[in-house]
Amino acid sequence: MIQDYFRSDLSDFKSYKVSKNDYKVRMDANECFSNLPQEIRMKIAWAIEECIFNRYPDAGASMVCELYAQYSNVKSINVMAGNGSDECIQIIANTFLNTGDKVAVQSPDFSMYGLYTRVAGGIPIEIPLGDEFKLDVDGFISIVNKEKVKIVFLSNPNNPTGGIIKRDDIIKIIEGCSCIVVIDEAYFEFYGETIVDKICAYENLIVLRTCSKIGLAAIRLGFLITSPILMGELKKVKPPYNVNAISQCIACVILKDSEIIYKNVERILLERKYLWQKLSNINGIKLYNAQANFILIGVENAQIMKQRLLDAGINIRSFTAITLQNCLRITIGSREENQCLINNISQENIGNI
């Protein structure tokens, strides 16, 4: 049977479900709500016209890494580009995990850490967050060391909670955990705090970043930032040519003019403030700390609310995990989208749930 050739340890895997994207209001995937302005798209079109299509792209995306290094105040030798930061997560798992090695993650946190751990033959250990999705830092460190974990993955700000771990605690984790510590700063721009300045101070630290949340989800570009010692190992596993020439070309246009990114972030932050205020006026909704480009809310019946919104053409993120029962994650939208959402979660609706 052909199934005899399949990996038995992947038999219970489900392929990553992406919801259909034909809703009028898409507030489910933590993307930036607006497309690039037309004049920038024209600039990109001209840049693509110059692309060399018959040759493989720059294998290490060196120009992109150089520009991203400037953007994030590090040296380019510390930066590796990936086909989305998803690929960076996979490269990390594949580089350091032997079969049966343990990886510590918070629960809840970004699901791909556990998935790529398992694909690499590792074992994810989920450490539940406490009240208000707070991390017990000392407890976390002690489990990591007791279990002889090889890698820790933490998103900061956390997806999906929107909460953060303060700098002192991040440092405590890096210093206290006897393993590689990956701090995923996918939502850094909406929080403003980073640990990237410490990559050379701690040889076990890797920082992840992405362009997906700041207006470039389509081009699939993420970054891994670390010290030369870990970088050398990671480079053994990185596929050559993993960032295609078109994405490299587009990223260069944008990163040469980072004002475009700052403007996107500024508008998202303004809308986050607006949406937060409007949601906080509605009875029956619990708001969690929102330091990213989304707001996690708690409601009495998430499934009913999600369906009502879908019926109105608004897609937001619901969850199956027990820890997120009756939570919904709302990506910050444009003013019109936010208003549309608010109108549909009116006081009367909440009363009926």
Binding site for ligand PMP (CB under 6 A): 30, 84-86, 110, 155, 159, 184, 186, 210, 212, 222
Q: What is the 3-state secondary structure (H, E, C) of the chain?
A: CHHHHCCHHHCCCCCCCCCCCCCCEEECCCCCCCCCCHHHHHHHHHHHHCCCCCCCCCCCCHHHHHHHHHHHCCCHHHEEEECHHHHHHHHHHHHHCCCCCEEEEEECCCCHHHHHHHHCCCEEEEEECCHHHCCCHHHHHHHHHHCCCCEEEEECCCCCCCCCCCHHHHHHHHHHCCCEEEEECCCHHHCCCCCHHHCCCCCCEEEEEECHHHCCHHHCCEEEEECHHHHHHHHHHCCCCCCCHHHHHHHHHHHCCCHHHHHHHHHHHHHHHHHHHHHHCCCCCEECCCCCCEEEEECCCHHHHHHHHHHCCEEEECCCCHHHCCEEEEECCCHHHHHHHHHHCCHHHHHHC
Q: Return the number of the residue (93 or 345) whose C-beta is nearest ligand PMP.
A: 93
Q: Return the number of the residue (28 or 101) whose C-beta is nearest ligand PMP.
A: 28
Q: Return the number of the residue (72 or 212) whose C-beta is nearest ligand PMP.
A: 212
Q: Return the number of the residue (115 or 340) whose C-beta is nearest ligand PMP.
A: 115
Shortest distance (Å) from residue 285 CB to ligand PMP: 23
Both structure tokens of 62: 């060196």
Residue 342 burial (10 A CB sphere; 0-12, 13-18, 19+): middle
Shortest distance (Å) from residue 102 CB to ligand PMP: 20
Shortest distance (Å) from residue 161 CB to ligand PMP: 11
Shortest distance (Å) from residue 176 CB to ligand PMP: 22
Shortest distance (Å) from residue 51 CB to ligand PMP: 22
Q: Return the number of the residue (254 or 345) whose C-beta is nearest ligand PMP.
A: 254
Q: Return the number of the residue (204 or 210) whose C-beta is nearest ligand PMP.
A: 210
Shortest distance (Å) from residue 157 CB to ligand PMP: 8
Q: Return the number of the residue (180 or 345) whose C-beta is nearest ligand PMP.
A: 180
Is 151 in contact with 93 (CB distance < 8 Å)? Answer: yes
Q: Return the number of the residue (211 or 345) whose C-beta is nearest ligand PMP.
A: 211
Shortest distance (Å) from residue 343 CB to ligand PMP: 27
Q: Nearest residue to ligand PMP, using CB?
A: 84
**What does the buried/exposed string (b/e) look like for 160-173 if buried means 16 or more CB atoms within 10 Å of the residue's CB?**
bbbbbbeeebbebb
Q: Return the number of the residue (162 or 345) whose C-beta is nearest ligand PMP.
A: 162
- How far is the C-alpha of 145 from the C-alpha of 349, rounded, in Å? 48
